[in-house]
Chains A and B, each alone.
Chain A
Amino acid sequence: DVKVTQSSRYLVKRTGEKVFLECVQDMDHENMFWYRQDPGLGLRLIYFSYDVKMKEKGDIPEGYSVSREKKERFSLILESASTNQTSMYLCASRAGGSGANVLTFGAGSRLTVL
C-alpha cells in the first residue's frame, strides 16, 4: 500500500512565524498535492507538483509556497503564518498518467495559529 506520511499531526504557531509542513510518499508517485480542509468548505487545493522542482498553483495559493527537491518529498511553507491559516492540512499523492485518478492521503496536520 502507498504510504503518505506527514511529519507533524498537531502544530501550534504564533502569528508571523514561518511554518514548514513536510510530506513524504514511498511509492514513487509523480504527483503530489497539498490541500486544506475547513468545515463547510471541503478540501481546497493549495498547490500541486507533477515532478521534481515543478509546481503549480491550486485554487488558494496565497500565503503559501511549496518545495519539491526530491520526488518523494513535498513541503508546504507558510512564510508568515496568520490566524486565517488555522486549518487541517492534507497532503496527497497520485501516480502519473491520465488514467490514474485515485489520491492517497496522509493523516493530516492540524495547524493552529494564535
Chain B
Amino acid sequence: RKEVEQDPGPFNVPEGATVAFNCTYSNSASQSFFWYRQDCRKEPKLLMSVYSSGNEDGRFTAQLNRASQYISLLIRDSKLSDSATYLCVVNLRPRGSARQLTFGSGTQLTVLP
C-alpha cells in the first residue's frame, strides 16, 4: 500500500462546477498536511496547508479527517485556470526530521468551458 494515495483522475468538470478530491495516508502519526498544485510542465507550488479544524481560502476548502486518515480538497465554482494536477503532501516522519514530506502521485483536473 502506498504511504499517500490519491485518485489519479482525470476529473473533467464544466466551469462553475464543484469538485472534491480525497487523499488517504497510511501513518496515523502524520503531523502536517498540504495541497500543492502543479500546472502542466511546471513545478509544484504550495496551494494551501490543511489544518485540523479545516480551512478555507477563497473557493478552496481543505479538510482533515484523522480518524479515517484522509484529507480532502474542495473547489467551488471551478475556473478554467484551476486546470492542473493537485498533489497531496503529508509529513509522515517524526517532528524534526528533515526527510518529512511524502507526495501523492497527484489528481489531474481539467475544467471545461
Q: Which residues of A are found within 8 Å of B99, using beta-carbon distances?
A: 45, 48, 56, 58
| Candidates B32, B34, B43, B49; contact of A106 at CB < 8 Å | B43
Distance from B87 Cβ to chain A, minimum over Cβ atoms (Å): 7
The answer to whether B96 has its CB under 8 Å from any CB of chain A is yes
- Chain A residues with Cβ below 8 Å from B34 are 101-102
How many A-B pairs have beta carbons closer than 8 Å: the answer is 46
Residue B42 at the chain A interface, CB threshold 8 Å: yes
Say yes or no for A12: interface residue by CB 8 A criterion.
no
- Whether B8 and A43, one on each chain, are in contact in the complex, defined by CB atoms closer than 8 angstroms, is no
The answer on a CB contact under 8 Å between A42 and B105 is yes
Residues of A within 8 Å of B91, CB to CB, are: 101
Contact (Cβ within 8 A) B44 A43:
yes
Is residue A114 within 8 Å, beta carbon to beta carbon, of the partner chain?
A: no
Contacts of B59 in A (CB 8 A): none
Task: State A35–B42 Cα separation when bound (angstroms).
Answer: 14
Please determine whether A90 and B98 come into contact, CB atoms closer than 8 angstroms.
no
Shortest distance from the beta carbon of B38 to any chain A beta carbon, whole Å: 9
Contact between B43 and A98, CB atoms less than 8 A apart = no
Sample (18) of A-B pairs whose CB atoms are under 8 Å apart: A31-B98, A42-B87, A42-B106, A43-B44, A43-B87, A48-B99, A50-B98, A56-B99, A58-B99, A98-B96, A101-B32, A101-B34, A101-B101, A102-B34, A103-B46, A103-B101, A105-B43, A107-B43
Known A42-B106, A101-B34, A108-B43; 10 more pairs at CB < 8 Å: A35-B103, A41-B105, A45-B99, A56-B99, A58-B99, A101-B32, A101-B100, A102-B46, A102-B49, A105-B43
Q: List residues of B whose CB falls within 8 A of some A CB.
A: 8, 32, 34, 42-46, 49, 87, 91, 95-96, 98-101, 103-106
